[in-house]
C-alpha cells in the first residue's frame, strides 16, 4: 500500500475485494458491479470495477478512504455529460457518482445566495431560484442533466459569460473530498470573502483531478424582467463574426453575442445561413431601447426563439473542441476555418461566443480529424490562443494532446495536485500533462 506513491500502477485490488470493502464501509445499497451498469460509466473505453452512487458527503469520504487504502483509482462524476473530456485514464477502478447528493441546503433569497449538494441539476436549482425571482446567470449545455458539481469540475459556460461571467465568478464557497477522504472547504456563504486561499477557484475546471466536489454555494442574481434572442442572417461566417463584434463599439449591453455557421443554424432551428445571434436582457426598457438600435446597427435582425438545441450544441458530435482567443482575433480565424476546412476536406460546424473570443468547433469522425485539428491548434497558438479537444475517438486521443499547451508551468500543476491528491487517486492521467 505504501509503495503506491512510487508505483501507482501496482497492486490494483481485485474487483470482488474492492466491491466488498466498499459495500462494508459505504453501504451495500450504493455499490453496483453489474456489467451493464459499469459499461454505462466507462471512460474512454476503460470500464471500472465498481460504481458507487453516494448519497451523502460522508459516503463520498468513506468511498475515497477505501479507495486509497486499496490503491484504487477513482473518477468522480455527476451526470456524466462531460466526463469524456480529458486523456484516457491511466487507471480506473471506481466510478464515484455524486448524483445522489441532491439536497438544496440553503436558499437565502434576501442574501442572494444558494447552497446545494453537488448532485443537484441546474434545472432543479433554477426552479428553486425562480420561485424567488432569481437565477444563476450561467447557461451551460443540458441544464436538465448537468449537476452543480459537473458545472464546476468541467467549468461549463455558455454565451452569457460575455455579460455575466463564468461559473468561477458565482462560486463563493465549496466543499470537496480530497485525498485520504478528507473533507476540505474554501470560501464560505457570503458574497464577499477573502479569508484563506480561494480553494473554490482551484476546483473549477479541475475535471475531477483534485477531488470530488460535494457542495457548492453560489451567489445569484435577480431574474431579468426581459430576456430575448435576436438573429441576423449573414453572407459568411466571417461577416457574421465581424458584424457581431462591431456591436461592441456601440452603446449596447448584450447578454450574449454569438455567431454560428450555416450548418449549426440549421441544427438549432434557424435558416441554414451563417448568423449573428444576440441575447438582450434586463429591464424591459433596456431591451426595447437596444432592439430599436439594432434596426440600424444590425439590419435584417429579427427576434427568434432559441431552443435547447443551441445550448447543447456540439455535445453529440463525434469530435468537438473549444477554441479560446481574443475576441478581436475571432473573425479572422473563423474566416480561415471556413477556407481550411474545405482544403482539409472536413465538414465543420461552429458556434462562437464571439464577445468572449470562445468558439465550439465540431467535426465528424470521418475523414480523420487530426490534420485539421493540428492546423487549428497551430492557428490558435499563433494568435495567443489555444484549442482544447473535448470529444475525440479513443484511437485519436492517443495521438494528440487533447489539452494543449498548459496555462502555467506543468510542474506547478503537478505540485498543486500532489498537495490535495498525493496518491494520484483522482482521475489519474486524465488531466493536463497526464496528471
* Contacts of other proteins in 252-271 (CB under 8 A): 253
Query: Is residue 13 packed enough to be buried (19+ CB in 10 Å), middle (13-18) or exposed (0-12)?
Result: buried
Q: Does 130 bind other proteins (CB under 8 A)?
A: no
Query: Is residue 415 packed enough to be buried (19+ CB in 10 Å), middle (13-18) or exposed (0-12)?
Result: exposed
Smallest gap, in angstroms, from Cβ of residue 352 to other proteins?
A: 13
Out of 229, 420, 425, 430, name the contact with other proteins by CB under 8 A.
Answer: 420
Out of 141, 143, 404, 429, name the contact with other proteins by CB under 8 A.
Answer: 404
358-363 and 183-187 strand pairing: unpaired
Query: Is residue 296 packed enough to be buried (19+ CB in 10 Å), middle (13-18) or exposed (0-12)?
Result: exposed
Out of 154, 358, 362, 373, name the contact with other proteins by CB under 8 A.
Answer: 358
Q: Does 384 bind other proteins (CB under 8 A)?
A: yes
* C-beta closer to other proteins: residue 118 or 387: 387
Q: Using CB under 8 A as the criterion, what x/- string covers residues 88-127 for binding other proteins?
A: --------------------xxxxxx--------------
Smallest gap, in angstroms, from Cβ of residue 133 to other proteins?
A: 6
Smallest gap, in angstroms, from Cβ of residue 39 to other proteins?
A: 29
HSE, CB side, 13 Å, CA atoms: give it for residue 186. 17
- Residue 72, helix vs strand vs coil: coil
- Residue 112, helix vs strand vs coil: coil
Out of 59, 79, 147, 290, name the contact with other proteins by CB under 8 A.
Answer: 290
Length of the chain: 435
Query: Would you say 234 and 276 are in contact if contact means Cβ atoms under 8 Å apart?
Result: yes
Q: What is the DSSP letter of 143?
A: T
Out of 13, 89, 233, 327, name the contact with other proteins by CB under 8 A.
Answer: 327
The alpha carbon dihedral of 252, 223, 268, 390 has a sign of positive
* C-beta closer to other proteins: residue 17 or 193: 193
Q: Does 155 bind other proteins (CB under 8 A)?
A: yes
Q: Does 434 bind other proteins (CB under 8 A)?
A: no
- Residue 319, helix vs strand vs coil: strand
Q: Does 198 bind other proteins (CB under 8 A)?
A: yes
Smallest gap, in angstroms, from Cβ of residue 301 to other proteins?
A: 18
Residues that bind other proteins (rule: CB under 8 A) add up to a total of 79
- Residue 20, helix vs strand vs coil: helix
Amino acid at each position: 500500500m505504501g509503495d503506491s506513491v512510487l508505483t501507482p500502477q501496482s497492486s490494483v485490488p481485485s474487483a470482488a475485494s474492492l466491491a466488498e470493502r466498499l459495500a462494508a464501509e459505504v453501504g451495500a445499497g450504493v455499490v453496483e458491479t453489474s456489467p451493464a451498469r459499469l459499461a454505462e460509466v466507462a471512460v474512454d473505453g476503460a470500464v471500472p470495477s465498481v460504481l458507487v452512487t453516494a448519497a451523502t458527503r460522508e459516503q463520498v469520504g468513506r468511498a475515497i478512504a477505501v479507495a486509497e487504502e486499496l490503491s484504487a483509482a477513482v473518477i468522480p462524476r455527476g451526470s456524466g455529460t462531460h466526463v469524456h473530456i480529458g486523456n484516457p485514464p491511466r487507471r480506473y477502478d471506481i466510478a464515484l457518482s455524486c448524483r445522489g447528493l441532491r439536497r438544496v441546503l440553503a436558499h437565502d433569497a434576501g442574501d442572494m445566495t444558494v447552497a446545494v449538494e453537488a448532485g443537484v441539476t441546474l434545472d432543479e436549482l433554477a426552479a428553486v431560484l425562480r420561485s424567488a425571482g432569481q437565477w444563476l446567470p450561467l447557461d451551460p449545455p443540458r441544464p436538465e442533466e448537468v449537476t452543480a458539481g459537473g458545472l464546476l469540475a468541467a467549468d461549463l459556460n455558455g454565451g452569457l459569460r460575455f455579460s455575466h461571467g463564468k461559473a468561477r465568478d458565482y462560486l463563493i464557497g465549496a466543499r470537496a473530498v480530497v485525498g485520504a477522504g478528507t473533507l476540505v472547504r474554501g470560501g464560505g456563504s457570503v458574497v464577499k470573502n477573502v479569508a484563506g486561499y480561494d480553494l473554490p477557484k482551484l476546483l473549477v475546471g479541475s475535471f475531477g483531478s483534485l477531488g470530488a466536489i460535494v457542495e457548492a454555494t453560489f451567489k445569484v442574481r435577480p431574474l431579468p424582467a426581459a430576456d430575448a434572442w435576436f438573429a441576423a442572417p449573414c453572407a459568411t461566417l466571417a461577416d457574421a463574426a465581424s458584424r457581431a463584434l462591431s456591436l461592441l463599439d456601440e452603446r449596447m449591453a448584450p447578454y450574449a453575442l454569438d455567431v454560428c455557421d450555416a450548418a449549426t443554424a440549421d441544427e438549432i432551428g434557424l435558416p441554414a445561413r451563417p448568423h449573428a445571434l444576440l441575447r438582450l436582457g434586463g429591464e424591459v426598457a433596456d431591451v426595447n431601447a437596444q432592439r430599436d438600435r439594432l434596426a440600424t446597427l444590425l439590419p435584417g435582425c429579427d427576434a427568434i426563439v432559441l431552443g435547447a438545441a443551441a445550448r447543447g450544441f456540439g455535445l453529440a458530435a463525434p469530435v468537438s473542441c473549444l477554441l479560446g482567443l481574443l475576441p478581436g482575433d475571432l473573425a479572422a480565424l473563423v474566416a480561415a476555418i471556413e477556407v481550411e476546412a474545405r482544403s482539409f476536406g472536413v465538414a465543420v460546424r461552429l458556434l462562437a461566443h464571439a464577445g468572449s473570443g470562445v468558439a465550439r468547433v465540431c467535426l465528424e469522425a470521418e475523414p480523420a480529424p487530426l490534420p485539421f485539428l493540428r492546423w487549428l491548434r497551430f492557428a490558435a497558438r499563433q494568435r495567443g490562443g489555444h484549442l482544447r479537444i473535448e470529444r475525440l475517438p479513443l484511437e485519436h486521443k492517443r495521438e494528440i494532446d487533447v489539452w494543449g499547451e498548459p496555462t502555467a508551468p506543468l510542474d506547478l500543476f503537478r505540485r498543486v495536485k500532489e498537495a490535495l491528491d498525493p496518491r494520484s487517486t483522482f482521475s489519474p492521467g486524465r488531466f493536463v500533462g497526464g496528471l
